[in-house]
Amino acid sequence: MVGRFFSSFSDAWEYFLARAEPLEWFFGDFPEDEDFVAEGWLIEPPSGIKQAARQLQEAFTGIEWVAAIPDHFLHVWLGGPISLGGHPATLAGSGAFELTYYRLNCFHSALVVEADAPELPRLVEGTAIDAATFLPHMTIGVTREEHDPDDLRQVVLPLREVELGTATVTELKRVRFPAARTTLLQPWAVVETVTL
């Protein structure tokens, strides 16, 4: 069963709290073809935010069916290769902004930290991304298999209001990376960088 789209982080959180069915298998959404490659735009958090994410990941190291996202793959996804409202050069020089990483949440197959900045919606305005379901986040853990959510709920509940910090976003990166079930989470290659 493929999970429905959420229209808000609150919607996702309430669904997670009440969820009776198993969480889905994250890697099942990706192809088996080991040559498959994905590409898109993202914001890479600075080292201080990544360090805070690593500390948060320690809370679920005892849950073997949840895989921590490697340090080099932590990001806020903005969409596919032609996203960002046409040619991304239009965003060059548009101005850096502050992005806050806070509140732990859980989607159908991923443990995420919510990412918040008033500027984020304009980055995907006019793109293929549905603004009604665009919930910017940094994934910190994913499911290795379908599993009952109870163990993860016990870990996540007391950490719901966690704050990882605020960082200045000065650039957007277009990256390419292996994205098959067995190759995902390897380091990406930067194709293009736009300085804000």
- Give 108-141 pLDDT, tens digit per residue: 999 999 999 998 887 877 665 676 778 999 999 9
Q: What is the pLDDT of residues 32-41, one digit of tens each?
A: 999 999 998 8
Map out the domains of the chain with their CATH numbers: 23-195 (3.90.1140.10)
Reported residue count of the chain is 196
**Secondary structure element (H or E) that encloses residue 189, with its range:** strand 189-195
40: helix, strand or coil: strand
- Four-residue CA torsion sign, 66, 71, 76, 77: negative
pTM summary value:
0.93
Measure the CA–CA gap between 117 and 126, rounded to whole angstroms.
Answer: 18
Q: Running DSSP on this structure, what letter comes out for residue 32? A: S
User: What is the biggest distance separating any 2 CA atoms in the chain, rounded to whole angstroms?
Assistant: 47
